[in-house]
């Protein structure tokens, strides 16, 4: 396994839309494993391939507690149902260092994905795990969590995140 470099704002590659994976083969599994190792190393609980400069629809998530007894390793994750009810959670992102805004999202989602064995799975989740999945799928579409905020707030957090990098 290898550590990958996590891109930080304002890297333009964070705005790219990732392409679907045809099949979870050995190459995709290697990317998944490297992403997991990178996420643990950088102390994140979710990582999308877009954040490591790979335009493939792959995400990994692990809260390292009872919410994720196993790491969630997914290719082509797709949300097929959103609850009408919405809920705010404090979110952070390895690509936007040291910023923790509250983001409002659907409080439950149902989604489908291919697992590490290329098997189709579906899952319904709520709470912070559901927010995390929405956050990571956004990355695959070139959307950052701060894009859900007003432009005033977004620009403020963006400036702060870029300043953190330069300090």
Query: By three-state DSSP, how is residue 30 classified?
Result: helix
Q: Report the alpha-carbon distance of residue 33 to residue 53 in Å, rounded.
A: 15
Please, what is the minimum distance in Å from the beta carbon of residue 120 to Ni ion? 25
Q: Which residues does 71 contact at the CB level (< 8 Å), separation at least 6?
A: 36, 60, 61, 62
Please, what is the minimum distance in Å from the beta carbon of residue 20 to Ni ion? 20
Write out the residues near Ni ion by the rule CB under 5 A. 93
Report which residue's Cβ sits closest to Ni ion. 93
Nearest to 47 by CA among 81, 95, 11, 86: 95
Active site residue: 22, 66, 91, 136, which one?
136
Among residues 21 and 93, whose Cβ is nearest to Ni ion?
93
Tokens of 148: 């859900």
Q: Report the alpha-carbon distance of residue 167 to residue 160 in Å, rounded.
A: 10
Identify whether 66 is a catalytic site residue: no
Q: Report the alpha-carbon distance of residue 23 to residue 119 in Å, rounded.
A: 10
Please, what is the minimum distance in Å from the beta carbon of residue 51 to Ni ion? 6
Among residues 76 and 134, whose Cβ is nearest to Ni ion?
134
Catalytic residues: 136
């Amino acid at each position: 396994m290898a550590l990958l470099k996590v891109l930080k704002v304002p890297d333009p590659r964070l705005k790219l839309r990732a392409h679907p994976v045809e099949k979870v083969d050995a190459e995709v599994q290697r990317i998944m494993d490297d992403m997991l190792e990178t996420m643990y190393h950088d102390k994140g609980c979710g990582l999308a391939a877009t954040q490591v400069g790979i335009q493939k629809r792959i995400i990994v998530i692990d809260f390292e507690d009872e919410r994720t007894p196993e790491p969630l390793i997914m290719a082509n994750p797709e949300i097929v149902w959103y609850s009408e009810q919405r809920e705010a959670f404090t979110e952070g992102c390895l690509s936007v260092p040291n910023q923790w805004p509250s983001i409002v999202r659907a409080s439950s989602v149902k989604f489908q994905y291919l697992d590490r064995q290329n098997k189709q799975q579906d899952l319904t989740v709520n709470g912070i795990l559901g927010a995390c999945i929405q956050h990571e799928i956004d990355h695959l579409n070139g959307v950052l969590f701060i894009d859900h905020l007003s432009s005033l707030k977004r620009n403020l957090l963006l400036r702060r995140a870029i300043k953190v990098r330069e300090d």
